[in-house]
Amino acid sequence: MKKIEKLEMVEISKYFHTTRANYKVSFSIESGEILGLLGENGAGKTTLMNILYSLIQSDEGEIRINGETVRLHSPKDAIQRGIGMVHQHFMLIQNHTVAENIALGFEEAPFFFPAGHVAKKIEEFSRIYGLKVNTQEKIWQLSAGEQQRVEIVKALIRGVDLLILDEPTSVLTPQESKELFSILRRMAGNGHSIIFISHKLEEILSICDRVLVLRRGEIVGASSVQSTDKRKLARMMVGRDIIFDFEKEHIERGPLILEVKELIVPGDRTERAVKGVSFKVYKNEIFGIAGVSGNGQRELIEVITGLRRASGGSILINGKDITNASARLVSDQGISHVPEERIKFGIVPNLFIYENTVLKRHHNKRFSKMLFLNYQTIKSHAESIVKDFQVTAPSINTPIKNLSGGNIQKLILGREITGEPTLLVAAHPTYGLDVGATEYIRRQLLERRGKGIAVLLISEDLEEIFELCDRIAVMFEGEIMGILPTQEANIEDIGLMMAGSRK
Amino acid sequence: MDSILISVLNRTLVAGTPLLLATLGEIITERSGILNLGIEGMMAVGAVAGFIVTLATGSPWLGMASAILAGILISAIHAFVSISLKANQVVSGLALTMLGLGGASLFGRPFIGRPLPVKMAPFRIPILADIPLVGKVLFNQDPFFYLSLILGVLLWVLLSRTRWGIQIRSVGENPAASEAQGLNISTVRYICVLIGGGLAGMAGAHLSLIYSKSWTEGLTGGRGWIVIALTIFALWNPLRAFLGAYLFGCIFVLQYILQPIGIPPNLLGMMPYLATLAVLFAGGLKKGRRYLHAPAMLGEPYTKGER
């Protein structure tokens, strides 16, 4: 098959039911070029690339390779034509080895003992591109950065000409991202084309040659990176001028609310996911924990909210020891929780909205009498949350699963805040939300800080951490690398701490 | 004493063979991510089909072939319902059990108690069969036994050492990722379920043609459920299935031998299930669920493009 010199997508449109995911999108990319695809969450970037990779089919439009119209029916066709894709959520089989993962779908692998044969090839490619991978390890033993390298090697080994990377840096430390960028530049130098999806402006500007901006499924701007800047790109991406312009007023922090002392927590696979962590959170303060996911943050939150047992150390709330107390007791002590996986742990998808607004508090006198729930109060409670927190919902009598991610998150936040907690634990509260919802939720957190709640914020988004927090801690491999007041922190230091250096 | 030992070992292998065949089938089915609880039904259908065709044609080989075909046909229902229609696999499998058992007794009624006119002769491997003890036990067995050995080893090689094996396991572990690698999930799963049905049918034929040499209602006697336990006991590994099948086969034989000395057969009948619970228990104690090697997406329907 001839190498891809030029690839075009022409007038591509895609509809899901009645929503328009892509509308008349046209662009082209040439060999050796790195093209940035910029847009908010939900702008249709991933859909467009899934069409190119033929995971889904477009409703209108066509794809041309070297000027010729091609019909790609499945990823198999795309792979054969030299198109590869690294998804945001890696498409790897966790229980299989690196070699087995790469052998799957590698046409040239021999029928018998494919993994052994592939292992040799992998080592060859690793050397050329400076990608270090151990072929015999199982995927679940690898870090996110290593898994990404496996994905890239997988594409390279099959002779990819055009590689699509979907939000590749979202799981990486700033240093790992730099490494990725140098690999991508080397690939472009060797004549590969790369499409780089991101919603981070700095990244696009630093790695790409050209950038396309997508909004609501349509291309709203295209330019070379030299002739644009962050401001212009942001305006195109969001469709209005200001993005985040919070004035965080200075508030003296109040008395101590949460104290975590030498906490040790076992993980799912390891003896110790959290290795002796200590910190304090005060009233009127947002305390942020930054770090790449999977460094013990989830286990830490689960212990504080009573969902997991600690094997050492203690947790005090207002001086009261709640170590290893039940989730009900923890919640009754005034700790509320906006969980990381909102669909899995934040709501019961099939229950109605009003039922979801009293989860954890259905046993309160206000909402129940003996064995029976007081639906009248519950419904008026639900109505007021929907109104106060600007939740867009057809009615409170709809199953909550019908709401969008942003509205579900607003409702969860509303439920957790109206309980008037002393401590709010928020894990990745704006992950995957559109700009409007993100802005709203961040404002709410700041407002609650002003009203006297202590907030423990866990986030991977450094922008969010810097905007909201009074103090920032960084977690790496289950330990806190350091705690800095936000005024004294800069992004480079935080980045180094995320990769394991102490401050 | 020697003759008792030989007879026990012999009966163990005979009782273990249908368990092995059906377990191999369930292993490949489950490795592709489909749970088929209908083994009892598929075995019953295979047993009846094998018996009727052998009676009619006088050829036990034709009987075996039609049993395999019958198993494939009835498992196709489960494949269609659980892969194409994405229905609940537990319900579909249970329905298959009842359908198979009911169908088998309906079609088998006229043949109850009829003796088999032809027997499948034991296949004597020259020279090796003359080795004392081992020779008589291992090398003078029915053809099903040898076939099951070959199939077991083949399946192990297929699953662990070939590209198809990686593909089957990947589909059971992570269909979305497998599809992104260019695999057709439905095709792989259909093939695996049908192979599983064929092997269950073959196991049924062993029961009516070799084990009891006749057809009675309830011939399968709960073996289909033991197979499901055995699949877990074997941790989805064909080689461990050998161990499990003969161990459980031995328990079957012991039921008859130990009865006269006062051990209730019901107690021994519980053994396969207790052994499975013990394996699950031991697996649960070891660190991490990965020790059990259950295919990650077992029993989950897959919808294209949905993540």
Tell me whether residues A103 and B166 touch, CB distance under 8 A: yes
Q: What integer pLDDT is reported at residue A241 of this predicted model?
A: 52
Q: Choose among B181, B288, B305: nearest Cβ to A269.
A: B288
Dihedral of CA B263/B266/B267/B269: which sign?
positive
Spatial separation of the C-alpha atoms in residues A405 and A216, rounded to whole Å: 16
Tell me whether residues B179 and A96 touch, CB distance under 8 A: no
Which region among A69-73, A133-137, B22-26 has the lowest average model confidence (pLDDT)? A133-137
Q: What integer pLDDT is reported at residue B16 of this predicted model?
A: 95
Q: Which two tokens stand for residue A372?
A: 């029976």
Q: What integer pLDDT is reported at residue B138 of this predicted model?
A: 84
Q: Which two tokens stand for residue A101?
A: 């993962």
- A253: β partners: none
Q: In chain B, what residues touch A155 (CB-CB under 8 Å)?
A: none
Query: Do residues B174 and B296 make contact, with C-beta atoms less than 8 angstroms apart?
Result: yes
Over residues A180-191, the mean pLDDT reads 91
* Farthest CA pair distance, chain B: 64
Q: In chain B, what residues touch A55 (CB-CB under 8 Å)?
A: 179-180, 305
Tell me whether residues B166 and A115 touch, CB distance under 8 A: yes
Q: How is chain B split into domains, by residue range?
A: 2-285
- A8: β partners: A28, A64
Spatial separation of the C-alpha atoms in residues A342 and A427, rounded to whole Å: 9
CA angle A72, A74, A80 (to 5 degrees): 70
What angle do the packed helices B185-206 and B39-57 form, to 10 degrees? 60
Averaged pLDDT of chain A? 88
Tell me whether residues A55 and B174 touch, CB distance under 8 A: no
Q: Which residue of B has its CA nearest to A73?
A: B182
Q: Choose among A93, A111, A112: nearest Cβ to B177.
A: A93
Judge whether A17 is closer than 8 Å to chain B, CB to CB: no
Q: How many CB pairs under 8 A join A and B?
A: 77
Burial A231-249 (b: 16+ CB within 10 A, else e): eebbbbbbeeeebeeeeee
Q: What integer pLDDT is reported at residue A30 of this predicted model?
A: 94
Dihedral of CA A102/A108/A110/A116: which sign?
negative
Q: Mention every residue, 6+ apart, whose C-beta is less than 8 A from residue B96.
A: B36, B37, B38, B41, B42, B74, B75, B77, B78
Q: What integer pLDDT is reported at residue B307 of this predicted model?
A: 40
Tokens 């490795």 locate to B31
Q: Which two tokens stand for residue A73?
A: 């029916």
What is the DSSP track for B256-293? HHHGGGT--HHHHHHHHHHHHHHHHHHHHHSSSGGGG-
B3, exposed or middle or buried, with CB in 10 Å at 0-12, 13-18, 19+?
A: exposed
Q: Phi/psi of residue B133, each to 5°?
A: 60, -75
Answer CATH for B2-285 from 1.10.3470, 1.10.40, 2.40.160, 1.20.120: 1.10.3470
Q: In chain B, what residues touch A88 (CB-CB under 8 Å)?
A: none
Spatial separation of the C-alpha atoms in residues A452 and A443, rounded to whole Å: 15
Judge whether A114 is closer than 8 Å to chain B, CB to CB: yes
Percentage of residues of chain B with pLDDT beyond 90 = 61
Q: Which residue has the higher pLDDT, B278 or A488?
A: A488
Q: Phi/psi of residue B267, each to 5°?
A: -60, -45
Query: Do residues A477 and A296 make contact, with C-beta atoms less than 8 angstroms apart?
Result: yes
Q: In chain A, what residues touch B153 (CB-CB under 8 Å)?
A: none
Interface of B with A (CB under 8 A): 157, 161-164, 166-167, 169-170, 173-174, 176-184, 287-288, 290, 293, 296, 305, 307
Spatial separation of the C-alpha atoms in residues A501 and A481, rounded to whole Å: 7
Q: How far is B183 from chain A (nearest CA, A)?
A: 7
Q: What integer pLDDT is reported at residue A242 of this predicted model?
A: 46
Instruction: From B301, B244, B290, select the one nearest B271 (Cα to Cα).
Output: B244
A19, exposed or middle or buried, with CB in 10 Å at 0-12, 13-18, 19+?
A: exposed
Spatial separation of the C-alpha atoms in residues A317 and A330, rounded to whole Å: 9
A125, exposed or middle or buried, with CB in 10 Å at 0-12, 13-18, 19+?
A: middle
Q: Phi/psi of residue B55, each to 5°?
A: -60, -45
Domains by residue range for chain A, with CATH: 6-238 (3.40.50.300), 246-334+423-432+450-503 (3.40.50.300), 335-420 (3.40.50.300)
**Preferred mutation among B158, B162, B163, B178 to probe A, highest tally of A CBs within 10 A:** B163
* Farthest CA pair distance, chain A: 74
Q: Choose among B166, B288, B293: nearest Cβ to A114.
A: B166
Q: In chain B, what residues touch A105 (CB-CB under 8 Å)?
A: 178, 181-183
Spatial separation of the C-alpha atoms in residues A214 and A192, rounded to whole Å: 23
Q: What integer pLDDT is reported at residue B1 of this predicted model?
A: 59
User: How many CA atoms within 13 Å lie on the side-chain side of B301?
Assistant: 16
- B141: β partners: B123
In this structure, which amino acid lies at residue B140? N
Q: What integer pLDDT is reported at residue A121 of this predicted model?
A: 87
With bands split at pLDDT 50, 70 and 90, how would you rate the model's confidence at A440?
A: confident
Q: How far is B25 from chain A (nearest CA, A)?
A: 21
Rg (CA), chain B: 19
In this structure, which amino acid lies at residue B263? I
Residue A212: C-alpha distances to residues A181, A225, B272 (Å):
19, 10, 63
Over residues A254-267, the mean pLDDT reads 93
Q: Which residue of B has its CA nearest to A91?
A: B177
Tell me whether residues A91 and B180 touch, CB distance under 8 A: yes
pLDDT at residue A197 above 80?
yes
User: How many CA atoms within 13 Å lie on the side-chain side of B294?
Assistant: 19
Q: Choose among B163, B288, B290: nearest Cβ to A111.
A: B163
pTM of the model: 0.78
> What is the ipTM score, two decimals?
0.85
Torsion (CA) A357, A363, A368, A372 in degrees, nearest 10 = 110
Judge whether A244 is closer than 8 Å to chain B, CB to CB: no
**Preferred mutation among A79, A93, A140, A151 to probe B, highest tally of B CBs within 10 A:** A93
Tell me whether residues B162 and A109 touch, CB distance under 8 A: no
* Neighbour count for residue A357 (Cβ, 10 Å): 28
What is the DSSP track for B17-45? HHHHHHHHHHHHHHHTT-----HHHHHHH
Spatial separation of the C-alpha atoms in residues A28 and A43, rounded to whole Å: 19
Dihedral of CA B205/B211/B213/B216: which sign?
negative
Q: Phi/psi of residue A148, each to 5°?
A: -65, -40
Q: In chain B, what residues touch A104 (CB-CB under 8 Å)?
A: 163, 166-167, 170, 178, 181, 183
With bands split at pLDDT 50, 70 and 90, how would you rate the model's confidence at A406?
A: confident
With bands split at pLDDT 50, 70 and 90, how would you rate the model's confidence at A252?
A: confident
Q: Phi/psi of residue B83, each to 5°?
A: -95, -55
Dihedral of CA B277/B278/B280/B281: which sign?
positive
Tell me whether residues B180 and A92 touch, CB distance under 8 A: no
Render pLDDT for A452-483 as a digit per residue (tens, 0 to 9): 899 999 998 888 898 899 999 999 989 999 99
With bands split at pLDDT 50, 70 and 90, how would you rate the model's confidence at A371?
A: confident
CA angle B241, B242, B246 (to 5 degrees): 115
Tell me whether residues A91 and B176 touch, CB distance under 8 A: yes
Spatial separation of the C-alpha atoms in residues A322 and A312, rounded to whole Å: 13
Q: In chain B, what residues touch A56 (CB-CB under 8 Å)?
A: 305
Spatial separation of the C-alpha atoms in residues A106 and A101, rounded to whole Å: 9
Q: How far is B228 from chain A (nearest CA, A)?
A: 22
Tell me whether residues B307 and A89 touch, CB distance under 8 A: yes
Residue A309: C-alpha distances to residues A38, A406, B41 (Å):
42, 31, 45
pLDDT at residue A123 above 90?
no
Strands B123-124 and A320-321: unpaired
Torsion (CA) A138, A139, A141, A142 in degrees, nearest 10 = 130
Q: In chain B, what residues touch A76 (CB-CB under 8 Å)?
A: 182-183
What is the DSSP track for A341-358? SIIIII--TTSBHHHHTT
**Preferred mutation among B170, B235, B291 to probe A, highest tally of A CBs within 10 A:** B170
Query: Do residues B269 and B212 make contact, with C-beta atoms less than 8 angstroms apart?
Result: no
Tell me whether residues B166 and A268 touch, CB distance under 8 A: no
Q: Which residue has the higher pLDDT, A232 or A351?
A: A351
Q: In chain A, what residues touch B159 (CB-CB under 8 Å)?
A: none
A6, exposed or middle or buried, with CB in 10 Å at 0-12, 13-18, 19+?
A: middle
Query: Do residues A293 and A171 make contact, with C-beta atoms less than 8 angstroms apart?
Result: yes
What angle do the packed helices B2-31 and B238-258 form, to 10 degrees? 140
Query: Which residues of chain B are under the pLDDT cut of 70?
Result: 1, 283-292, 305-307
Q: Which residue of B has its CA nearest to A53?
A: B180
CA angle A471, A473, A475 (to 5 degrees): 165
Percentage of residues of chain A with pLDDT beyond 70 = 97
Tell me whether residues A114 and B183 touch, CB distance under 8 A: no
DSSP state of A112: B
pLDDT at residue A15 above 50?
yes
pLDDT at residue A35 above 90?
yes
Over residues A98-118, the mean pLDDT reads 88
Q: Mention every residue, 6+ apart, whose C-beta is less than 8 A from residue B117.
A: B55, B58
Q: What integer pLDDT is reported at residue A207 of this predicted model?
A: 93
Tokens 């499945």 locate to A74
